Structure 1
Amino acid sequence: MIRGIRGATTVSNNEEKEMVEETKKMIEHMAAINDVSPEDIASVLISVTPDLDATFPAKALRLIEGWKYVPVMCMPEINVPGSLPQCIRVMMTVNTKLGQADVEHVYLNGAVKLRPDLIEER
């Protein structure tokens, strides 16, 4: 079955090192808690808010062993007034045996407020 796994995190600064480190941490956590290997992944889409332009957070995937061939793309997030700033969002499309309600989505740092309903369920 194909499922989407959501992830989001925030950074304190528009700096390459922090953006890559926080993205890597989030993606590794998404994969670990959902038992996802690189071969299970169809693609990874990463969006960033307009205030983050220091680097492509997709660089984080290339730092994870075995993820060389995982297709990844970055894009800008819609600039909605009042939305969470300095936010990196991920949609990982995977092949899994997990039911939709069993998929664990990951929200780190300031992004925990995006989906408190999913955080509280776990």
Structure 2
Amino acid sequence: MAVRGIRGAITVDANEESSILAATGQLMHELIAVNELHADDVASVIITVTHDLDAAFPARAIRAIEGWDLVPLLCSNEIPVPGSLAKCVRVMMLVNTEKSIHEVRHVFLGGAAALRPDLRAEAK
């Protein structure tokens, strides 16, 4: 078993609590499904948001997923690089898994699909 990092990102329609939580939930459900994850296998999740998203903590959406309420979560701001993607939630999960680095599936949804086309699940 190894610890693997699983990446994901999604853009949010508006800086509103409901939009941030819905997008984060959508991203996490997709990451969980494509990687066949169980909360007990997750060491931690780091969530960043761009500076234009401050209406809600995206970690709330993850804690609302059944069984994920005890997973260590940390929210932070993304570095505000000029010209970078706006209204974006990024996730990096550290997961204990038997999967190789090549079997892990990363998920980039909405406008975030442009961030890392080399890591997207469809590119594998």
TM bucket normalised to smaller = over 0.9
Partners of 2:106 and 2:81 in 1: CA distance: 22
Partners of 1:116 and 1:33 in 2: CA distance: 17
Q: Percent identity?
A: 52
Aligned length: 122
Partners of 2:32 and 2:75 in 1: CA distance: 19
Structure 1, gaps ≥5 residues long:
none
Query: How many Å apart are 1:118 and its aligned residue?
Result: 2.5
Classify the secondary structure of the residue corresponding to 1:116: coil
Classify the secondary structure of the residue corresponding to 1:118: coil
Superposed CA offset, 1:77-118 (max 9, x none): 000000000000000000001110111000000000001122
Match of 1:83 in 2: 84
Superposed CA offset, 1:20-78 (max 9, x none): 01101101111111111000000000000000000100000121011111110100000
Partners of 1:32 and 1:97 in 2: CA distance: 16
Partners of 2:107 and 2:86 in 1: CA distance: 18
Opposite residue 123 of structure 2, the aligned amino acid is E
Partners of 1:13 and 1:22 in 2: CA distance: 10
Match of 1:28 in 2: 29
| Structure with greater helix share of residues | 1
Match of 1:121 in 2: 123
Pairwise CA RMSD of aligned residues? 0.9
Q: What TM-score do you get using the length of structure 2 for normalisation? A: 0.95
Matches within 5 A, 1:56-71: 56-71=57-72
Opposite residue 52 of structure 1, the aligned amino acid is L
Matches within 5 A, 1:33-112: 33-112=34-113
Partners of 2:51 and 2:97 in 1: CA distance: 32
Q: What TM-score do you get using the length of structure 1 for normalisation? A: 0.96
Match of 2:15 in 1: 14
